[in-house]
Amino acid sequence: MALTSSPAPVAFLGPAGTYTELAALLACPEQPHLHSQGSHPLVPYPTIIACLEAVATGQQEWAVVPVENSVEGGVSMTLDALWQLEGLQIYQALILPIRHALMGRAKALEQIEQVYSHPQALAQCQVWLGSHLPQATLIPTRSTTEELDRVQTQPMAAVIASERAAALYKLPILACPINDHPDNCTRFWVIGRSQPKADLASPGGSHTSLAFSLPENVPGALLKPLQVFAEQGLNMSRIESRPTKKSAGTYVFFVDLENAPDQPYLSPKVIAALEQIAETLKLLGSYPVHDLSKQGGIAFPN
């Protein structure tokens, strides 16, 4: 990926004010080992798949997508799209702390009849909502910010989104933080197009991600790839299974590995061993991880 003189645009799940937009502002796709200056122009898309397709088809250079939340788990849409679309690769991971705020123009919590947000945000606040807003109907939306315009004029409606979203839309914050788990954080990936030799062209870094399907469903089938990782001393920081969608009971496994300290890529030996075992193997990239959840909060860019 050649460095361009002006930063290339980044696709994100919009509209403005989502956590993904914040991740995109903080990401530094072209030089993932530096901290971003937030100078990439951002382009909102209505869905995660649309963001990734925009990169796969060359419409945009980069996409920032959520991968996993510490409370609600993997983001299926991201994993499925990365398995299905060709030519995409991970350049960077960003971990953001998540602080959910309830915002709207209600005079009191008792007045609120509907709460709008992304299903993951609703799920992450379910205990708080059950005890503070038992009367409210929870209405899932495609992003945390999709219904922010509605609450400008409807005081009986409220939205769960970031404090930054409240500031952007000039909405009063009614309660914050309202997430049930204080350590809530979300991991995002910066995705770009892959080069012909994916394992060499990716930026390299502390982690490698890959996905594979297995040729047969027999005792110990999954054991083989995990043995390859263990024999090489590679720690699996995550494994997640998703249905292949071809037939029931067949899965794609998504694995994140911690690279050895002196080895920013997966070794050709491990790749060759996996190619022997897997039905289909997809190397998704080796990349650095910026964990902003452990730095005592982040300064919100505007």
Q: Annotate each residue in 138-177 with x if it binds its own copies (CB under 8 A) or - if it does not, as one string.
A: x-xxx-----------------------------------
With CB under 8 A as the contact rule, the residue among 59, 152, 195, 217 that binds its own copies is 217
Q: Is 229 in the site for its own copies (CB under 8 A)?
A: yes
User: What whole-number distance in Å separates Cα of residue 277 and Cα of residue 295?
Assistant: 40
Residue type, 8: A
The neighbouring-strand residues paired with 240 are 254
Rank residues 8 and 71 by Cβ distance to its own copies and give the closer one.
71
- Among residues 162 and 186, whose Cβ is nearest to its own copies? 186
Element (H, E) at 256: strand 251-258
What are the distances in angstroms from CA 204 to CA 196, 200, 262, 284? 15, 8, 11, 11
The answer to whether residue 268 forms part of the interface with its own copies (CB under 8 A) is no
Of 283-302, which residues contact its own copies (CB under 8 A)? 293
Of 232, 233, 231, 249, residue with least CA distance to 241: 249
Phi, psi at 80, each rounded to 5°: -60, -40
Question: How far, in whole angstroms, is CA 84 from its chain's centroid?
Answer: 17
Would you say 71 or 173 has its CB closer to its own copies? 71
Name the residue among 186, 187, 189, 185 with its Cα closest to residue 287.
189
**Which residue lies nearer to its own copies by CB, 241 or 280?**
241
Spatial separation of the C-alpha atoms in residues 138 and 158, rounded to whole Å = 10
Peptide bond into 15 cis (omega under 30): yes
Closest CB 16 distance from its own copies, rounded Å: 19
Q: Which is nearer to its own copies, 151 or 166 (CB)?
A: 151
Near its own copies by CB under 8 A, which window of 35-43, 99-107, 181-189, 190-198?
181-189
In the complex, what is the shortest distance from the CB of residue 213 to its own copies, in angstroms, rounded to a whole number?
14
CB 144 within 8 A of CB 120: no
Residue number, 41 or 119, with CB nearest to its own copies:
119
Which residue lies nearer to its own copies by CB, 72 or 113?
Answer: 72
Q: Binding its own copies by CB under 8 A: which of 2, 108, 248, 299?
A: 248
Q: Which is nearer to its own copies, 59 or 76 (CB)?
A: 76
**Among 61, 65, 1, residue whose Cα is nearest residue 31:** 1
Contact map string, positions 64 to 103, toward its own copies, x by CB under 8 A: ----xxxxxx--xx-----------------x--------
- By DSSP bridging, strand 73-74 and strand 62-69 are antiparallel
Query: Could you tell me the sign of the dihedral formed by the alpha carbons of 10, 142, 144, 186, in that order?
Result: negative
Structure tokens at 236: 């699996």
Binding its own copies (rule: CB under 8 A), the pick from 175, 222, 277, 281 is 222
Binding site for its own copies (CB under 8 A): 68-73, 76-77, 95, 119, 123, 138, 140-142, 181, 183, 185, 187, 217-220, 222-223, 226-227, 229-230, 233-243, 245, 247-249, 251, 293
